[in-house]
């Protein structure tokens, strides 16, 4: 997080210099000073332009060095090639916060990348914090401040925003519904979302935060910032660049399952962020969070103009995990008298038959009031018609709904309509900022569901203490000491598991056929034989696994056959011997894996194991570290977990045993940074025993 003073200088400066600002003015002139003046900024402004003279009534300094004070903030608004010199002026004048708007750095060619590196060096040497390059900078609508060079439409809403593209900055009026404070980090060379998130979350004027994220350098820092922010203010994130995930080669089980976007998704969930599937979800959640301060539960009442729309509303509620409220007896008693004798009165309430006898306005008011009074209803979805011309609109209940909403501030009312005057309805209904209109019932239910999740679950979430780690100071550290990068020999991998207390099947390593026979005798038949080779990733694929070998003769045959088949399928693979293992009866095949993600660090995977892991794709992911309860949640999320719990007459597996195993595995990876990837597959689970049959460990370089 940025120090308070830096954040203030960046977003609410008392003085600002526009360095390299153009002297052109008027439409299309790309002049940020002109835009700022239109916003009514009251701080001190210093234009810098080498030609001197004046700009828009302000004296233009030929150099920043001539400016009479050190400005809180400098905005360098010249094209790329002029930036280094102007940045030098900032350093020389002692400016500590600099925004660089120009494109053509990391987003451009090789020269641009070099220039950006040089700027970063200069910034570090002079303790300057940089926003950008390739950014429109800041909007602070509570400070009449804005660094945009385009005079965009900029409605004020209590929303904090960080983004990595000008599209979000300029389009926030549509994509977020408006702006309170916005920070565009552009190429994000220095100041990033994690630097400002905590400040936005602590700002009492902001009711929700939106993040547009395209890339992230430090996932751990982001998760810390997000976990800090979320209990204070809800955060909605729109992650782009998701399809790039497909381009990352999958080098192993865990690798292919923990595709990049899934890791982001996992991190967002772990921090309690709302991930918007599209900008409309972000807009919808913003409207809910900006309007309603809370919700007591998820029991929804539905007041509908028609039975058909009531059915749609129920579908929508169920889709988003809401409950259809069971109305209290009083409500029924009060409302029954409005309806003809043949009509069914309930929830959803099709109020049309009542309206035919008592008028639409009167019936709507009576019904909605009864719902709001009902202690078994936490929120109401209203559906009405917006299909009449304004002059003939005897169905217009916007006034009724707003009035009732005003009386019950703790029970959110959301409205959807049918008919093409819906925009008029939206405008009317939202006038007092106590009702939200949604285009569809699906969107209404989705927003209520988020409101419920935030106020009843996420805000209260307590993060359990992670298990402490002591890198290197562990038995595994000795095994790994001095090992080269690459795949660890398999017997070493098994020893690694044993070193941290994970139960491993009885095994021996044999170099030749005679040793194999003798060691099999020692273990006891039946046995399994597996090739040992760091060249072979998937042993089954090349015939390198032989199960259930019953006697020495079978073993000798299998040994010869196996070597022949491997030679045919992967000629040249170096074979270091064979592993002889106790052959075990059928159990549930599990996978535990971990991959060190470049952004987020170790990502743990748990799920269905066996050779078909990728096809079955039954895996739960989490960013480490985790508490024991979280390991349990991972297990419960998978189909494997449901089978382990004792489905269909089978005996349940001891889950404590399994969470201990996950914890040991996680600890092992966290304490040994040289492990870049590791998995146990299969881990066999029985009612009273779990046992690892195979492990694969890839070592990377330790920084």
Binding of its own copies at residue 615 (CB under 8 A)? yes
Q: Which of residues 66-85 bind its own copies (CB under 8 A)?
A: 80
Instruction: Find the helix or strand (DSSP H, E) in which 175 lies.
Output: helix 166-175
Q: Measure the N-to-C terminal CA separation of the chain; round to a whole number of Å.
A: 24
Q: Which stretch binds its own copies (CB under 8 A): 286-294, 384-392, 406-414, 459-467?
A: 384-392
User: Strand 486-487 relative to strand 695-699: parallel, antiparallel, unpaired?
Assistant: antiparallel
Q: Which is nearer to its own copies, 34 or 671 (CB)?
A: 34
In the set 70, 82, 537, 616, which binds its own copies (CB under 8 A)?
616
Say whether 65 sits in a helix, a strand or coil. Answer: helix
In the set 1, 170, 193, 405, which binds its own copies (CB under 8 A)?
170
Q: Which is nearer to its own copies, 378 or 442 (CB)?
A: 442
Q: Which of residues 644-663 bind its own copies (CB under 8 A)?
A: 647-650
CB of 353 to its own copies, least distance (A): 6
User: Nearest-CA neighbor of 395 among 373, 370, 415?
Assistant: 415
Q: Which stretch binds its own copies (CB under 8 A): 162-170, 288-296, 476-484, 591-599?
A: 162-170
Binding of its own copies at residue 293 (CB under 8 A)? no
Q: Which of residues 669-698 bind its own copies (CB under 8 A)?
A: none
CB of 69 to its own copies, least distance (A): 32
Q: How far apart are CA 595 and CA 591, in angstroms?
A: 13
Q: Which is nearer to its own copies, 355 or 474 (CB)?
A: 355
Q: Provide the residue count of the chain.
A: 703
Binding of its own copies at residue 151 (CB under 8 A)? yes
User: Nearest-CA neighbor of 428 among 460, 459, 399?
Assistant: 399
Q: Which is nearer to its own copies, 312 or 380 (CB)?
A: 312
Angle in degrees, CA 602, 604, 606, rounded to 5:
170
Q: How far apart are CA 82 and CA 257, in angstroms?
A: 46
Residues with Cβ within 8 Å of 346's Cβ and at least 6 positions away in sequence, in order, are: 327, 332
CB of 648 to its own copies, least distance (A): 5
User: Strand 138-140 relative to strand 179-184: parallel, antiparallel, unpaired?
Assistant: antiparallel
Q: Which is nearer to its own copies, 43 or 241 (CB)?
A: 241
- Residue with the two structure tokens 């330790």: 702
Sign of CA dihedral 157, 163, 169, 173: negative
Binding of its own copies at residue 150 (CB under 8 A)? yes
Q: Which is nearer to its own copies, 387 or 408 (CB)?
A: 387
Sign of CA dihedral 38, 39, 44, 47: negative
CA–CA distances in Å: residue 428 to residues 389, 402, 434, 436, 541: 15, 9, 11, 10, 66
Binding of its own copies at residue 210 (CB under 8 A)? no
Report cis status (omega within 30 of 0) of the bond before 43. no
Binding of its own copies at residue 168 (CB under 8 A)? yes
In the set 166, 301, 593, 601, which binds its own copies (CB under 8 A)?
166
CB of 104 to its own copies, least distance (A): 4
In the set 40, 249, 392, 484, which binds its own copies (CB under 8 A)?
392
CB of 694 to its own copies, least distance (A): 14
Q: How far apart are CA 240 and CA 168, in angstroms?
A: 12
Binding of its own copies at residue 315 (CB under 8 A)? yes
The two tokens of residue 578 are 């064979």
Binding of its own copies at residue 571 (CB under 8 A)? no
CB of 275 to its own copies, least distance (A): 13
Phi, psi angles (nearest 5°) of residue 12: -140, 60
Residue 594, beta-bridge partner list: 604, 678
CB of 76 to its own copies, least distance (A): 16
In the set 388, 457, 466, 485, which binds its own copies (CB under 8 A)?
388
Tally of CB atoms within 10 A around 528: 23
Q: Which of residues 9-48 bind its own copies (CB under 8 A)?
A: 27-28, 30
Phi, psi angles (nearest 5°) of residue 278: -155, 175
Binding of its own copies at residue 352 (CB under 8 A)? yes
Binding of its own copies at residue 611 (CB under 8 A)? yes
Phi, psi angles (nearest 5°) of residue 667: -60, -45
Binding of its own copies at residue 272 (CB under 8 A)? no
Q: How far apart are CA 276 and CA 282, in angstroms?
A: 6
Say whether 46 sits in a helix, a strand or coil. Answer: strand
Q: Which stretch binds its own copies (CB under 8 A): 86-94, 192-200, 275-283, 450-458?
A: 275-283
User: Nearest-CA neighbor of 507 among 496, 486, 489, 522?
Assistant: 522
In the set 67, 78, 123, 175, which binds its own copies (CB under 8 A)?
175
Q: Which is nearer to its own copies, 94 or 155 (CB)?
A: 155
Angle in degrees, CA 331, 332, 334, rounded to 5:
65
Q: Which is nearer to its own copies, 134 or 474 (CB)?
A: 134
Binding of its own copies at residue 321 (CB under 8 A)? no
Binding of its own copies at residue 301 (CB under 8 A)? no
In the set 40, 394, 473, 688, which binds its own copies (CB under 8 A)?
394
Q: Which of residues 458-497 bind its own copies (CB under 8 A)?
A: none
Q: Which of residues 435-454 bind its own copies (CB under 8 A)?
A: 439-440, 442-443
Contact in structure between 18 and 86 (CB atoms under 8 Å)? no
Binding of its own copies at residue 243 (CB under 8 A)? yes
Binding of its own copies at residue 294 (CB under 8 A)? no
In the set 50, 319, 478, 506, which binds its own copies (CB under 8 A)?
319
The two tokens of residue 498 are 């044993």
Q: Which of residues 92-111 bind its own copies (CB under 8 A)?
A: 103-104, 107-109, 111
The two tokens of residue 120 are 């970063």
Helices 398-407 and 422-429, packing angle to 10 deg: 30
Q: Which of residues 399-428 bind its own copies (CB under 8 A)?
A: 417-422
In the set 112, 219, 412, 602, which binds its own copies (CB under 8 A)?
112
């Amino acid at each position: 997080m940025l120090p308070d003073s830096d954040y203030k200088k960046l977003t609410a400066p008392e003085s600002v210099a526009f360095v390299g600002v153009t002297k052109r003015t008027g439409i299309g002139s790309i002049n940020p000073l002109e835009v700022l003046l239109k916003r009514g900024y009251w701080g001190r402004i210093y234009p810098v332009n080498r030609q001197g003279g004046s700009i828009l009534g302000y004296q233009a300094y030929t150099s920043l060095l001539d400016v009479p004070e050190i400005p809180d903030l400098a905005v360098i608004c010249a094209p790329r090639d002029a930036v280094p010199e102007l940045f030098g002026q900032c350093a020389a004048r002692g400016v500590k916060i600099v925004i660089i708007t120009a494109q053509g750095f990391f987003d451009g060619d090789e020269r641009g990348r070099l220039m950006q590196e040089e700027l970063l060096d200069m910034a570090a040497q002079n303790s300057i914090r940089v926003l950008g390059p390739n950014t429109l900078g800041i909007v602070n609508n509570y400070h009449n401040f804005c660094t945009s060079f385009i005079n965009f439409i900029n409605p004020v809403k209590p929303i904090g925003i960080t983004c990595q593209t000008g599209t979000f900055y300029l389009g926030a009026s549509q994509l977020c519904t408006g702006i309170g404070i916005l920070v565009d980090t552009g190429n994000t060379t220095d100041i990033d979302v994690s630097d400002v998130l905590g400040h936005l979350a602590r700002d009492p004027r902001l009711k929700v935060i939106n993040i547009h994220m395209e890339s992230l350098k430090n996932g751990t820092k982001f998760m810390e910032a997000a976990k800090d922010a979320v209990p204070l203010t809800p955060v909605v994130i729109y992650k782009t660049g998701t399809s790039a995930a497909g381009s990352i080669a999958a080098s192993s089980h865990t690798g292919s399952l923990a595709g990049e976007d899934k890791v982001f998704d996992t991190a967002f969930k772990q921090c309690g962020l709302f991930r918007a599937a599209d900008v409309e979800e972000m807009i919808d959640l913003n409207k809910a969070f900006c309007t309603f301060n809370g919700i007591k539960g998820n029991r929804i009442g539905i007041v509908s103009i028609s039975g058909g729309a009531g059915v749609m509303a129920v579908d929508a509620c169920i889709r988003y995990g809401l409950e259809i409220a069971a109305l209290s007896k009083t409500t029924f008693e009060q409302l029954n008298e409005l309806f003809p004798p043949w009509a069914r009165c309930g929830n959803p309430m099709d109020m049309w038959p009542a309206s035919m006898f008592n008028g639409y306005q009167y019936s709507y008011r009576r019904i909605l009031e009864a719902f709001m009074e009902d202690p078994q209803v936490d929120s109401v979805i209203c559906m009405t018609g917006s299909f009449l011309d304004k002059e003939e609109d005897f169905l217009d209940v916007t006034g009724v709904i707003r009035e009732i909403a005003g009386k019950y501030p703790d029970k959110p009312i959301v409205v959807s309509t049918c008919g093409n005057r819906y925009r008029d309805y939206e405008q009317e209904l939202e006038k007092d900022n106590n009702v939200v209109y949604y285009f569809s019932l699906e969107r209404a239910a989705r927003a209520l569901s988020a409101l419920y999740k935030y106020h009843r679950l996420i805000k209260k979430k307590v993060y359990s203490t992670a298990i402490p780690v002591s890198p290197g100071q562990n038995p595994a550290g000795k095994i790994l000491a001095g090992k080269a990068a690459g795949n660890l020999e398999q017997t070493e991998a098994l020893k690694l598991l044993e070193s941290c207390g994970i139960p491993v099947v009885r095994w021996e390593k044999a170099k030749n056929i005679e040793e194999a026979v003798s060691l099999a005798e020692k273990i006891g038949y039946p046995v399994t034989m597996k090739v040992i080779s760091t060249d072979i990733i998937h042993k089954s694929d090349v015939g390198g696994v032989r199960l259930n070998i019953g006697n020495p003769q079978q073993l000798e045959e299998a040994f010869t056959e196996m070597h022949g088949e491997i030679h045919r399928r992967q000629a040249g693979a170096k074979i270091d011997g064979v592993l002889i293992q106790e052959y075990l009866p059928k159990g549930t095949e599990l996978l535990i894996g971990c991959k060190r993600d470049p952004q987020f660090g170790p990502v743990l995977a748990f799920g269905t194991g066996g050779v078909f892991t990728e096809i079955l794709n039954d895996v739960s992911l989490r960013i480490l570290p985790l508490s024991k309860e979280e390991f349990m949640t991972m297990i419960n999320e998978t189909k494997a977990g449901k089978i382990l719990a004792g489905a269909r007459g089978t005996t349940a597996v001891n889950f404590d045993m399994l969470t201990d195993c996950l914890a040991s595995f996680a600890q092992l990876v966290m304490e040994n940074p040289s492990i870049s990837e590791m998995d146990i597959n299969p881990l066999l689970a029985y009612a009273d025993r779990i046992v690892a049959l195979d492990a694969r460990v890839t070592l990377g370089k330790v920084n």
